[in-house]
Structure 1
Amino acid sequence: MSSPTPFPFDRLSRRPDVEGPDLVASDAADRLILDESAGLRADAPTGSIVAIGDTHGALALAAAHDGARDVRVHQDALAGERAISRNAEELGLSDRIRVVGLDADAVSDARVVLLRLPRALDALRDVAALVAAHASPDVVVVAGGRLKHMTLAMNDVLGEHFGRIDVSHARQKSRVLFARDPRAGHEPAPAAGREGDLEIRAFGGAFAGARLDNGTRLLIAHLPEDPAGGSPEDPLIDMACGTGAVAAHLATRHPAAYVYASDQSAAAVASARATAAANGVEGRVEVARDDLLAGRPAASASFIALNPPFHSGAALTERLAFRLFADAARVLRPGGELWCVWNSGMRYRGDLERLVGPTRQVARDAKFTVTVSTRR
């Protein structure tokens, strides 16, 4: 049964995720998914509604506001996951939603899946396969996004695991796909790649997939021969580790070193653990899902490597990198070094000087710059 009062989208916040005038907690695609799924949700039994890719809770919380209970919700980014919990508390809906990982239990016996379409087709393929394997046979996936980020290939990917795909009319530059009749479901498995002696593993949605992106390749080629640190108390750190390629490289290149890798993405963390295992270094590589380096004490690290992201969802923003630089500075001990690669057009050198310390260029190619900043 729907609530007599409209859901207060304007009360949703991105916090503690990065905020800004161009970054929103909900948009027209969320509203279209909710409108197109209203009848399905009204008929869904308790505990059978799941929201996936729900960046800050608009889908799950609106469903709960409309009367649904035990709504399962998954968001890959830890900051977004925490924003969902915070928004639920602010709206008095905490007892109606349940934050879950992306696994079989998340979609078991689901009847309605509200999905924000991921931009990466591999991420969509993982979700579709998992839902098809574990949801109810009469599940309907209501998958929506902004038209500028949708492609016909998304229909094809959903068609690999569902027998019927329908398409809504567009509204406010958004559209919804309906997937029914699940088939050929299976557990997601990481893609495998190799660069030189380095094995790379990547679950859907992990940045760059099972290969080295050009920035990471340049960074790895210019990392120091003998970095300071590497003990269990002062490990070499791969910050915002993605698939863990840098962490695995450090552990294989320095066989006595311990490495700590962190990322706020659940898909990245799973990928980095798989990459460490594929290279036989899982015993010396700890991988944590964390916002920045919150789990590391201040002034405790001698070496951090970083390839900072510059997208929050589909939006381009420098704010993510600034947060990463500032927390790297917090964790570095005086004299510790931040080795960073960045798109040269971002012009981060002045920010690194301001937030970390003296910064020098180590390498540069047509697109990327590698710098080392020494903590004051």
Structure 2
Amino acid sequence: MTTPWGELELSRFPEDPHDRLRAWDASDAYLLRHLAQERIPLSGTVVVLGDRWGALVTALAEHRPTQITDSFLSQEATRANLARAGVAPGAVRLLTTQDPPPERVDVLLVRVPKSLALLEDQLLRLAPAVHADTVVVGTGMVKEIHTSTLRLFERILGPTRTSLAEQKARLIFCAPDPTLERGTNPWPYGYTLPEGLGAVSGAAVVNHAGVFCADRLDIGTRFFLQHLPAGRGGRRVVDLGCGNGVVGTAMALADPDAEVLFVDESFQAVASAEATYKANGVPGHAEFRVGDGLAGVAAGSADLVLNNPPFHSHQALTDTTAWRMFTGARRVLRPGGELWVIGNRHLGYHMKLRRLFGNSQLVAGDAKFVVLRAVKK
């Protein structure tokens, strides 16, 4: 990546020599060009929100910026890219969306996230640290910036306008108004599950901003909850890609002797899963882990893995994440252990499971979804 601060060699995480997707896009380059061309002072506290793979903070490392991200994978990519660029450890402060934000922000750079709710939550958390002289610049591809995006900036921070598009990317300029009445942060958001969902009927669900379907139960999860395996007692269960944790919590409510591991690469998701689990007073044992799938989980340590894999990485459609989840599940399962997967019917997960496990059984299906079961031999 060519930047006003030099050439950078960047990669996504985990690194894959067959992955043709870049670790930056035109919106990252546009923002960096703007900072250099306008000679934006970067001597104060620089905060970069939503830097997807660390391109922005790696380019700006000499200014000792703070990165705030919801993604474990993005954070790991940032560490690797900083090291590759020869940046000294500690030069860039790495925070998650669950950490307390800096007390003062002089320059706020925002890579617009896919989730409008996450943007709302994070702007509300950062607003007290923003002052009248704070430089606020957002960036994103044209397809990612909507009228609702601009209204959020305007409602929470102050008057907002956009730039002309360059290479299908656009900038957002906001003039902070510290006197704005922003109201209270609506996140996290909670609701109660309807009846007809087995052990989890009537259970409380807690969602932090940015978690998939944070304001309601999505139809895929609802279908999965109606067809979960019956508890056999004393099992170690993994809710892989746990989201708000409702699936793992359902297993714990049905089998209080089960040990449940909740895993997701989203800090917001794992915080939601822990809140959901605790809100229902589950008497069993649970562990909550933010990480790269099942990396770091001992081989042969699980009896059951439950998985609703994503089929996108940021804006890119891909089955790479699902395949890595399936291979990780096979590694951590004991012989005879089972992987249960829900997915859209058209994704053809049964073929991947047969290739990997040597078997795949259809547990349930409807016009849109299938629940599949694979057994480790």
TM-score (norm 1): 0.90
Q: 1:205 aligns with which of 181, 205, 210?
A: 210
RMSD between aligned residues = 2.2
Closer, same or farther in 2 for the Cα pair 1:54/1:5, shift >3 Å? closer
Q: Deviations over 1:313-339 (max 9, x none)?
A: 011100000000000000001100011
Partners of 2:232 and 2:135 lie apart in 1 by 52
Partners of 2:69 and 2:16 lie apart in 1 by 15
Measured after TM superposition, the shift of residue 53 of structure 1 is 0.9
Identity %: 35
Structure 2 counterpart of 1:76, one-letter code: D
1:133 touches 1:185 (CA, 8 Å); kept in 2? no
Corresponding residue for residue 248 of structure 1: 249
Question: Secondary structure at 2:133's aligned position in 1?
Answer: coil
Structure 2 counterpart of 1:275, one-letter code: T
1:180 and 2:175 correspond: yes
1:222 and 2:217 correspond: no
Q: 2:188 aligns with which of 177, 187, 190?
A: 190
Measured after TM superposition, the shift of residue 216 of structure 1 is 1.3
Partners of 1:110 and 1:243 lie apart in 2 by 30
Structure 2 counterpart of 1:61, one-letter code: T
Q: Which moved further from structure 2: 219-228 or 50-59?
A: 219-228
Measured after TM superposition, the shift of residue 240 of structure 1 is 0.7
Q: Which moved further from structure 2: 266-275 or 106-115?
A: 106-115
Q: Which moved further from structure 2: 93-102 or 113-122?
A: 93-102
Corresponding residue for residue 59 of structure 2: 62
Measured after TM superposition, the shift of residue 81 of structure 1 is 0.8
Q: Deviations over 1:135-154 (max 9, x none)?
A: 34432321111111221100
Aligned length: 365
Structure 1 counterpart of 2:88, one-letter code: S
Q: How does 1:292-307 map to 2 (within 5 A)?
A: 292-307=293-308
Measured after TM superposition, the shift of residue 229 of structure 1 is 4.2
Q: Which moved further from structure 2: 251-260 or 278-287?
A: 278-287
Q: How does 1:20-169 map to 2 (within 5 A)?
A: 21-38=19-36, 42-46=40-44, 48-64=45-61, 67-68=62-63, 70-95=64-89, 96-103=91-98, 105-169=100-164
1:194 touches 1:211 (CA, 8 Å); kept in 2? no
2:256 touches 2:284 (CA, 8 Å); kept in 1? no
Q: How does 1:275-294 map to 2 (within 5 A)?
A: 275-281=276-282, 284-294=285-295
Measured after TM superposition, the shift of residue 201 of structure 1 is 1.4
Closer, same or farther in 2 for the Cα pair 1:227/1:269, shift >3 Å? same
Measured after TM superposition, the shift of residue 344 of structure 1 is 1.1
Q: Deviations over 1:185-241 (max 9, x none)?
A: 7667311122221221111111121322221111111011224643xxxx2110110
Corresponding residue for residue 319 of structure 1: 320
Measured after TM superposition, the shift of residue 45 of structure 1 is 2.5
Structure 1 counterpart of 2:166, one-letter code: R
Partners of 1:94 and 1:140 lie apart in 2 by 26
Closer, same or farther in 2 for the Cα pair 1:109/1:42, shift >3 Å? same
Partners of 1:282 and 1:36 lie apart in 2 by 54
Corresponding residue for residue 10 of structure 2: 12
2:160 touches 2:173 (CA, 8 Å); kept in 1? yes
Corresponding residue for residue 350 of structure 2: 349
Structure 1: which 5+ residue stretches go unaligned?
none
Q: Which moved further from structure 2: 291-300 or 326-335?
A: 291-300
Corresponding residue for residue 338 of structure 1: 339
Q: Which moved further from structure 2: 287-296 or 360-369?
A: 287-296
Q: Which moved further from structure 2: 21-30 or 281-290?
A: 281-290
Q: Deviations over 1:26-62 (max 9, x none)?
A: 010001122233367742334x011111111111111
Q: Which moved further from structure 2: 250-259 or 341-350?
A: 250-259
Measured after TM superposition, the shift of residue 134 of structure 1 is 2.6
Measured after TM superposition, the shift of residue 356 of structure 1 is 2.9
Q: Which moved further from structure 2: 90-99 or 329-338?
A: 90-99
2:101 touches 2:125 (CA, 8 Å); kept in 1? no
1:104 touches 1:134 (CA, 8 Å); kept in 2? no
Structure 1 counterpart of 2:53, one-letter code: H
1:132 touches 1:186 (CA, 8 Å); kept in 2? no
Partners of 1:271 and 1:189 lie apart in 2 by 11
Partners of 1:149 and 1:26 lie apart in 2 by 15
Measured after TM superposition, the shift of residue 17 of structure 1 is 5.5
Measured after TM superposition, the shift of residue 102 of structure 1 is 2.3
1:165 touches 1:177 (CA, 8 Å); kept in 2? yes
Closer, same or farther in 2 for the Cα pair 1:54/1:314, shift >3 Å? same
Q: Deviations over 1:240-279 (max 9, x none)?
A: 1011111111122223322111101111111111111222
Closer, same or farther in 2 for the Cα pair 1:4/1:294, shift >3 Å? closer
